[in-house]
Every structure is written in structure tokens, then in C-alpha cells.
């Protein structure tokens, strides 16, 4: 048994939880408070058999991997037209930091 | 030293924390966000000496074990009388998922 | 790799996160719900290389250690003047409970 602690971005949270449910993994979602370091992240706590660790890692990677995304420009509202960029910009989104912890004992009551 | 991570239902949370305090165990309660998988759960983080692990497991079991409970029927409010059940129904409540993690080092500052 | 779980008081939270950022450590802050045991605490989850564990422990100690603080008396508002203490009182603030957990596998996606 292992306990997987995965810190991911909020925007990937629903997608990851759907994928875990679909593959019959049980997870608990811990709230991270906003405004800290990486704002808007969420921590998933997932208990898995040793043999399923790699499968869960793949599911996390598929749903949360860091990637670039085109963001449409926002037109300057009475603002600084000098800094206005009239074409979409690539931003980095997603990403996951994952710790696999050994478990000495596991019980369900 | 072990770190016990116990995911329990919100409704058993006060009872469990009272029982832990009464037995002189220190615990921290982490907020789980609602609406996910098992909605309305709470994660207790309890640091214990190896020799006390089984005692804490017993306390968790006694206060959080999954059990059936009779729920009074709710009369249909301008609703579908066809699906109305006029007698109490047994529902499953409670339950705990508990991970005991090894601890390499423990400090209090 | 180790995962450090540090339970500290809310009032030391910003100071600790600033110090961790300054020293290039990545941390995630988990919300603790109020009113439980030690109300107003926060749990930091910090992934570190084995060789950096002691440095992070020192940073936590420096920023969160339990200490005494003088608190100005509050004048009794239509209250019990008998219990009014007209001079500053020393109260215990801060404190940290820290668990260092072994990590079997660590991934960043
Ligand atoms: Ni699949
Ligand atoms: Ni007892
Ligand atoms: Ni320093």
C-alpha cells in the first residue's frame, strides 16, 4: 500500500477526480488556502496498492501535466495601449508535484 | 513515531476529536473541500508513539465505524408522490479510511 | 527525498512562507479548519532533498518557535472588574509540530 500525495492546479482538479473515479481509485481532496506560493492548487490524497502506483501516476500525468496554452489578448480598457499585445500569448498551465509515501498499515472501518 | 491520516465523515468529526482529546492525543484536522468523491469528509492527522497506534485505531473505529441509521421519510413537497416512501429508511453513515505512515524524524519547537 | 509536514500557528504562516521562498524551497499550505484542538493552525507540506532537511527544520524553528509575548490588558467592558488585570500579560504564542516522512518516489509532471 502507498499513499500518493499529488499537488495539482485547481483548473485540473475536476478532470483528475473524474479520471480517478472512472478507474475506481478512491481519493480525498485537501483544500489549499489561496494566495500562497502556487496560488490555486489542490492536494489529492490517493491510497493505492503497490501494483497500481504507476497506473495512478499515468492518470495524474495525463490530466495535469504542465503545458502551454494560448490566451486571447485582452483589449486595453482605457489603459496603456503601449503594452497591448494584439495576438494570443502562450502561458504555462497545469503541472503536478507528486509524492509517493510508504504505508505501514491500512484499515477501513 | 507514526503519523496516522484518517479520512472520516464530517458528522463524526466532533465526536472523534473529543475522544482523542480525552485520551490525550494531539490531532490536526485538515479541511476537505465539499462535493468531491465522498462529499463531507474530514482528514485527521494524528502523531503517535508506535505503542499507541492500536489504541488510536480503536478510538477511530469506535467513533467513526460505518453503520446503518434509520432516516425518517420526508413528505413530498408538491413533488412526485409516486416515489414517496412513508416509512423510515436505513442508510449507511460513517466509515473511516486510515493510513499509518512511518515517521523518520519528529520535532516540537 | 523527504516530505516535511509542519503544523504551525496561522500568525507565523506568512513569515514562514516568505522564509521558505527566500531559500528556494517549494511548499504547499493546507487549510486546517478552525475551532479544533489548537485552533488557528496551518499545515505546511514541504518536499526536500535529504541533505536539506536540517536546513528546513532550522527555518521552521527560527520562524515558528514557541515564545512568550506581552499582551496589553483589555479594559473591562461593563464586565467583571474583579478579574481585570491592569498590566501586560505574558502569553505563549507560536510553536511547531513537525513530522519528517520518507518518500518512496517523487515526480514532477
Ligand atoms: Ni485509462
Ligand atoms: Ni478509551
Ligand atoms: Ni537563512
Q: How many A×C Cβ pairs under 8 Å? A: 73
Domain count, chain C: 1
Eight-state DSSP code of residue C23: T
Predicted local confidence at residue B78, as pLDDT: 59
Q: Kindly state whether residue C41 falls inside one of the protein's structural domains.
A: yes
- The CA distance from C109 to A39, in Å, is 18
C79, part of any domain: no
Q: Give the structural domain span for B15.
A: 2-73+86-101
pLDDT at C37: 39
Cell of C60: 521552521
Residue C9 in contact with residue C95, Cβ under 8 Å? yes
Interface predicted TM-score (ipTM) over 0.85: no
**Residue A61: its pLDDT value, please?**
97
Q: C17: CA distance to ligand 3 center in Å?
A: 13
Ligand number nearest CA of A55 is 1
B28 with C31: Cβ contact below 8 A? no
Q: Residue A60 — very low, low, confident or very high, per pLDDT cuts 50/70/90?
A: very high
- Pick out chain B residues at pLDDT < 50: 34-37
Nearest to B16 by CA among C31, C7, C36, C99: C36
CB contact under 8 A, C98 and B108: yes
Of the candidate ranges B84-88, C28-32, C88-92, C96-100, the one whose mean pLDDT is the lowest: B84-88
List, for residues C24-76, the tens digit of each pLDDT value.
998 998 877 543 335 678 899 999 999 999 999 999 999 999 888 887 776 65
In a domain, residue B43? The reply is yes
Q: Which chains touch B (3 or more CB pairs under 8 A)?
A: A, C
Is residue C108, in this structure, part of any structural domain at all?
A: no
How far, in Å, is the centroid of ligand 3 from the Cα of B4?
A: 31
Of B32, B65, B100, the CB nearest to A28: B32
The answer to the question of residue C107 being in a domain is no
Task: Please check whether residue C48 lies inside any domain of the structure.
Answer: yes
Q: Report in angstroms the alpha-carbon separations of A47 from A15, A29, B59, B100.
A: 18, 12, 21, 11
Q: Is residue C65 part of a domain?
A: yes
Angle at B47 between CA B44 and CA B52, to 5 degrees: 110
Q: Give me the phi and psi of A74, to 5 degrees please.
A: -100, 125
CATH number at residue A48: 3.30.70.120
CA-closest candidate to residue B98, choices A51, C3, A103, A43: A103
Q: Which of residues 22-51 of B touch C (CB under 8 A)?
A: 26-31, 42, 45, 47
Each residue's pLDDT tens digit, A5-22: 999 988 899 999 999 999
Task: State the average pLDDT over residues A93-101.
Answer: 93
What is the chain B residue with the closest CA to A44? B32
Task: Kindly list the residues from chain B whose CB atom is less than 8 angstroms away from the CB atom of residue C102.
Answer: 102, 104
Domain membership flag for residue C58: yes
- What is the rounded CA–CA span in Å between residue C96 and residue C105? 26
Judged by CB atoms closer than 8 Å, whether chains meet at A37 and C30 is answered as no
Amino acid at each position: 500500500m502507498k499513499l500518493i500525495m499529488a499537488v495539482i492546479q485547481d483548473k485540473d482538479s475536476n478532470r483528475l477526480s473524474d479520471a480517478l473515479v472512472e478507474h475506481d481509485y478512491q481519493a480525498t481532496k485537501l483544500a489549499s488556502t489561496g494566495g500562497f506560493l502556487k496560488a490555486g492548487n489542490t492536494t489529492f490524497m490517493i491510497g493505492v496498492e503497490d501494483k497500481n502506483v504507476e497506473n495512478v501516476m499515468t492518470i495524474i500525468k495525463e490530466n495535469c501535466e504542465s503545458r502551454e496554452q494560448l490566451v486571447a489578448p485582452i483589449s486595453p480598457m482605457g489603459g496603456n495601449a503601449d503594452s497591448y499585445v494584439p495576438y494570443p500569448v502562450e502561458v504555462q498551465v497545469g503541472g503536478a508535484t507528486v509524492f509517493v509515501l510508504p504505508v505501514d498499515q491500512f484499515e477501513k472501518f
